A and B are shown apart, each in its own frame.
Chain A
Amino acid sequence: MSGMSSDIAIHAEDLTKFYGSRRGVEGLTLDVKAGEVLGFLGPNGAGKTTTIRLLLDFLRPTRGDATILGLDPRRDKAALHRQIGYLPGELAFPGREKAADLLRFFAAARGGVAWSQVTALADRLELDLTRPIRTMSKGNKQKVGLVQAFMHQPALLILDEPTSGLDPLMQQEFLAMVADARADGQTVFMSSHVLAEVQQAADRVAIIRDGRLAALERVESLGRRAIRTVEIHFDDPVDAAEFTGLPGVSDVMVSGPILRCTVDGRLSPLIKAVARHEVIDLLSAEPDLEETFLSYYYTQPDQHTQIEGAR
């Protein structure tokens, strides 16, 4: 695998960063294809921000390296950063000026960006550019951060926790912006600790845990693997034996007329078995994909080989 080809936007090879003896990220090998949206998922402190800051050359790897848009993050920083839109996870704005003035600075520093581009994004996010940024709410500051990341239509968007602070309506608008960026051929690398938002926007999801890549999968295959907890209330007590052993059904627990179990994949085998009885109520918890996905990999260590295969 060369990684240098133009259809690879980010190529990380054994990317490792230790802060003294503390591990930031270790042995990260990952390819992000040009034009794809990759969700970079993991609990807080897993190494998402460290990875992003390595890609931007704010940190220097202890071991390994990365190639971004075919360029070297350090040697080609100037050329590279012109093609990158970056949203920091911890947003802090330099200076005390109005949003418009700060964005004018970014426009000039990036070699000139059409102002209509900025106002279009601000309108879309319902952001008032005439206000000083320090007087803004967290959500509005986040919008300023998003505008500056998207304004120069970069080939690669690197977004660290992009939806933090946004209300649900704006989160949807943001996801639409990501979809538009993808339609325009831009590559998006976005981190999150919530799978739901990543699942909606991303083509693939990389899961990082304790500084290591735990999994890399297409979003569709994630959905199929969804494990849901199901609770069924019957008219009469039922026998657990009827439901144990059904395909995909596990953790069967029966207490009187109530059945609780977890279902991996399709629900039909369970539904067919259940239909033989009088059903009063059926509760199916929204699948917590992040947990189930992680548990899938952590309970089956041999499945790690799939990560290699998925690349």
Chain B
Amino acid sequence: MVPALVVKTWRDDRRAIIGWSVGIAAFTTLYTGFYSQFQGTAELKEDALPPDMLEFLGIADMTSAIGYLQATIYSLIGPLLVIMAAITLTTRTIARPEEDGGMELLLANPLTRRAFATQRLTAAATAITTITAVPWLLVAILAPTVDMNVPQGNIAATNAGLILLVWCFAGIAFLIGAWTGRRTPVLVVTGTLAVATYLANAISGLLDGGDWLKWLSPFHYFIGTDPLRTGWHPAHLAVLAAIAVVTAVAGIRVFDRRDIGV
């Protein structure tokens, strides 16, 4: 049976979950569906932009199906949207109720602090996973209908990477929220980390001797292996999963130790 607090968390978050899912579904459908019309103009774009810019944007080639998918769904806006959704929902686990006072009645339920934090995170994590699985479902269905020749297994590998990338940032957001009980640090720190690590990955190939930078970036472990072409890379995915687990466990522990609502 699903714990009452998990159900309550889902119910309180349902507008956000539905809203983000619909938005991300629209985004995915729009870009995937426009593949055939886009092809011609993509070629123009590719010629118009300098190669460094294309590399920075994570666009290898816009004309192939894989290049197009990567450029549109999986390189910038897609991850950005799901990470924003993840940060929003994770902020609601502890930081927001602690700031607005709703935590008082939630925490008065017969649960240990650890169980409380675990259930809040579990509810948020399942919601975030569902939202991030939306592009997977849509790309898997739509790709064949617009003649994209991308193996389903590679789509799965890529989207699994996206889910783990989002878990990674959700874990960081959770840790900061569980530690501080404040929304602003969660948004500022996690947002800054996301942007900084995205840039680190993007510019690592452009800088002489800057290649090592990519190893610091979760985005590298997600997309650096070119999973739409090369499929599964368990070691890379494991790094993302490890960050998610370590931050989640650390968050639960610090929440167990501190004063609440001071």
Known: A92-B104, A94-B12, A95-B8. A110 touches B261 (CB 8 A): no
The answer to whether the Cβ of A88 comes within 8 Å of any Cβ in the partner chain is yes
CB pair B111–A78 under 8 Å, yes or no, is yes
A51 → chain B closest CB, angstroms: 14
- A interface, CB within 8 angstroms of B: 19, 53, 56-60, 77-82, 84, 86, 88, 90-97, 101, 105-106, 108-111, 145, 148
* Closest chain A residue to B119, Cβ basis: A109
> Among A77, A86, A145, which residue has the most Cβ atoms of chain B within 10 A?
A77
The reply to whether B259 and A78 contact each other, CB–CB distance below 8 Å, is no
For the complex, what is the distance from the CA of A110 to the CA of B4, rounded to whole Å?
A: 9
Complex: how many Å from CA A94 to CA B97? 7
Given A19-B262, A53-B261, A58-B261, A81 and B108 contact (CB-CB distance below 8 Å) = yes
Among B3, B108, B113, B259, contact of A86 (Cβ-Cβ < 8 Å) = B108
A-facing residues in B181-220 (Cβ within 8 Å): none
Is B23 located at the chain interface by the 8 A CB criterion?
Answer: no
Closest B residue to A85 by CB, please name it.
B108
B residues 108-127 with Cβ under 8 Å of A? 108-113, 115
- Beyond A19-B262, A77-B113, 20 additional pairs, beta carbon < 8 A: A58-B261, A59-B262, A60-B257, A60-B259, A78-B112, A81-B108, A81-B111, A88-B101, A88-B104, A91-B105, A92-B100, A92-B102, A92-B104, A94-B12, A95-B8, A106-B105, A106-B109, A109-B5, A109-B109, A148-B105
Complexed CA–CA distance, A56 and B97 (Å): 17
Partner of B104, one of A57, A81, A90, A106: A90
The residue of chain B having its C-beta at the shortest distance from the C-beta of A74 within the complex is B113
Q: How far is the CA of A101 from the CA of B8 in the complex (A)?
A: 9
Chain A residues near B3 (CB, 8 Å)?
109
26 sampled A-B residue pairs with Cβ under 8 A: A58-B259, A58-B260, A60-B258, A60-B259, A77-B111, A77-B113, A78-B111, A78-B115, A81-B108, A81-B109, A88-B105, A91-B105, A92-B101, A92-B104, A92-B105, A94-B8, A95-B11, A95-B12, A95-B102, A96-B12, A105-B4, A105-B7, A106-B105, A108-B4, A109-B3, A110-B109
Q: Is the CB of A109 within 8 A of B110?
A: yes
Closest chain B CB from A110 CB (angstroms): 6
Query: When the two chains form their complex, are residues B111 and A58 in contact, meaning their CB atoms are under 8 A apart?
Result: no
With a cutoff of 8 Å between Cβ atoms, the chain A residues found around residue B5 in the complex are: 109
Q: How many A-B residue pairs have CB under 8 A?
A: 85
A259 vs B12: C-alpha distance in the bound complex, in angstroms? Answer: 65
Q: Interface digits, B82-117 against A, CB 8 Å rule (1 contact, 0 not)?
A: 000000000000000100111111111111110100
* CA–CA, A101 and B10, complex, Å: 13
Which residues of the partner chain A approach B11 to less than 8 Å between Cβ atoms?
Answer: 95, 97, 101
Q: Do A59 and B12 form a contact, CB below 8 Å, given A90-B104, A93-B102, A148-B105?
A: no
Q: Measuring CB to CB, which residues of chain B are less than 8 angstroms from any residue of chain A?
A: 3-5, 7-8, 11-12, 97, 100-113, 115, 257-262
Give Cα A86 to B100, complex, Å. 18
Please name the residue on chain A nearest to B258 by beta carbon: A60
Closest residue of chain B to A58, judged by CB?
B260
A110 touches B110 (CB 8 A): yes
Q: B123 to nearest A CB, angstroms?
A: 12
Cβ of B107: which chain A residues have Cβ within 8 Å of it? 58
Which of A56, A79, A90 is within 8 Å of B101, CB to CB?
A: A90
Nearest 5 A/B pairs, CB to CB: A92-B101, A94-B102, A82-B110, A108-B4, A95-B12
Contacts of A110 in B (CB 8 A): 109-110
Contact A111/B106 with A19-B262, A53-B261, A96-B12 known, Cβ cut-off 8 Å: no
Q: Report chain A residues within 8 Å CB of B103.
A: 94
The smallest C-beta distance from A291 to any residue of chain B, in angstroms, reads 31
User: Taking the nearest CB of chain A, how far is it from the CB of B122, in angstroms?
Assistant: 15
Specify the chain B residue showing the minimal Cβ separation from A80. Answer: B110
- A108 contacts across to B, CB distance below 8 A: 4, 7
Please judge, given known A-B contacts A58-B259, A92-B101, whether A84 and B108 are in contact too, CB under 8 Å.
yes
Once the chains are docked, how many angstroms separate the CA of A164 from the CA of B188? 37
In Å, the complex CA distance between A88 and B102 comes to: 10
Residue of chain A at shortest CB distance from B256: A74
How long is the Cα–Cα vector from A19 to B261 in the complex, in angstroms?
A: 12
A97 to B4, alpha carbons, bound, how many Å?
A: 15
Are A59 and B260 in contact, with the CB atoms below 8 A? yes
CA distance A79 to B115 in the complex (A): 13
CA distance A130 to B248 in the complex (A): 37
CA distance A111 to B112 in the complex (A): 14
Which of B7, B105, B262 has the most A CB atoms < 10 Å from its CB? B105
| Docked CA distance A94–B4 (Å) | 14
Residues of B within 8 A of A109 (CB): 3-5, 8, 109-111
Return chain A residues, CB-CB under 8 Å to B258: 60
**CB-defined contacts of A53 to chain B, threshold 8 Å:** 260-261
What is the bound-complex CA distance between A106 and B11, given in angstroms? 14
Residue of A whose beta carbon sits closest to that of B3: A109
Once bound together, how far apart are the Cα atoms of A95 and B8, in whole Å? 8
Closest chain-A Cβ to B105's Cβ sits at a distance in Å of: 6
